[in-house]
Structure 1
Amino acid sequence: MRGAEPKLTPAVEIILLVVGPTQVDYAKAGLADFAQRIGHYAKFRTESVRDRAAQHAFLKPGDLLVLLDERGEHLKSVELAQRLQKWMNSGPKRILFAVGDAYGFSAEFRAQAQYELALSKMTFPHDLVRVLFAEQLYRALSILRNEPYHHEG
């Protein structure tokens, strides 16, 4: 799939949906850096909500919801790129990647998800997860554009 152009349109938006603001400066800087890089490929933003209820209320019909959860599927970066290509081509207006609160996701919110993705088997602070995910999203988009950021080895 490497080298295929993602079929993004201005109507497709990728949102990192998180509970609470980003707290630490290194995470704010890292997230801002990767958001700017991602912006060259796709409409992207981070949306911070106050709690689980607000996270659930943020969903709209037609959204594709992906939970970032340690119980989710583990993918290599190239596999994430391929999956992202598939999701973008499936026609959602928004693709939401959600990070739960300290206790994860409610059963109701989990039931709304089309997919669960793990970044690692390890547990990370929520601020760090935001940066790790943004980097992997940027990496996936650069793989799809056949750009030299990612190196298989």
Structure 2
Amino acid sequence: MKVKLITVSKEDDGPVNAIFSDYAKRLIHYCNFEYINIRPTKSLLAEEQRSSDASKLSKKISAREEMVLLDEQGIELTSFDFAELLMKKMNSGTKGLCFVVGGAYGFHKSIYDKSSLMISLSKMTL
């Protein structure tokens, strides 16, 4: 199963990228992993930014992948529950999972509509 992590962020290098590279090397033994960062368009109003981000995200996600949003409004899972969810997806024949971290203004409604699941890693936002 292919696992993809897409972030919408101005930062696409430095320490964060080093961390993602390290984890990508670890994950390669378990799945086909890919990390993609999408840079937001500068100087847009909130709704315009969400729409622009949605357009860029849609181009990076295949119709065969299930989109999972990492969103503070999502369900909270324990590590065990998350591992169980991944196992169920792998065993059900899911071709790919695409985890998405939204930009500064969150997700556009069209992205919420296309997602199969929302998970909250924390009630805090960065």
RMSD of aligned C-alpha atoms? 1.6
Task: Return the TM-score normalized by structure 2.
Answer: 0.81
Q: Percent identity?
A: 35
Q: Is the strand fraction higher in 1 or 2?
A: 2
CA distance in 1, matches of 2:123, 2:18: 25
1:107 pairs with one of 84, 92, 109 = 109
1:24 and 1:121 map into 2 onto residues whose CA distance is 26
C-alpha deviations, 1:87-145, integer Å up to 9, x for none? Answer: 12222222100111111111011101110001111112xxxxxxxxxxxxxxxxxxxxx
Q: Is the 8 A contact 1:52 1:101 kept in 2?
A: no
Deviations 1:55-80 (A, max 9, x none): 02323222111000011111110110
**Equivalent position to 1:93, from 92, 95, 105:** 95
SS at match of 1:108: helix
1: distance between equivalents of 2:32 and 2:10? 20
Q: Which residue of 1 aligns with 2:3?
A: 14
Whole-angstrom CA distance in 1 between matches of 2:35 and 2:12: 14
Matched residue, 2:120:
118
Aligned residues: 113
Structure 1 runs, 4 residues or longer, greater than 6 Å off: none
Do residues 31 (structure 1) and 20 (structure 2) align?
Answer: yes
46-55 or 111-120, which moves further after superposition? 46-55
Which sections of structure 2, spanning at least 5 residues, go unmatched? 40-52
Normalized against structure 1, the TM-score is what? 0.68
Q: Which ranges of structure 1 fall in alignment gaps of 5 or more residues?
A: 1-11, 125-153
Instruction: Quote the residue 2:60 is aligned against.
Output: 58
Q: Is this contact kept in 2: 1:52–1:105, CA < 8 A?
A: yes
Q: SS of 1:40's equivalent?
A: coil
| Alignment-derived partner of residue 80 in structure 1 | 82
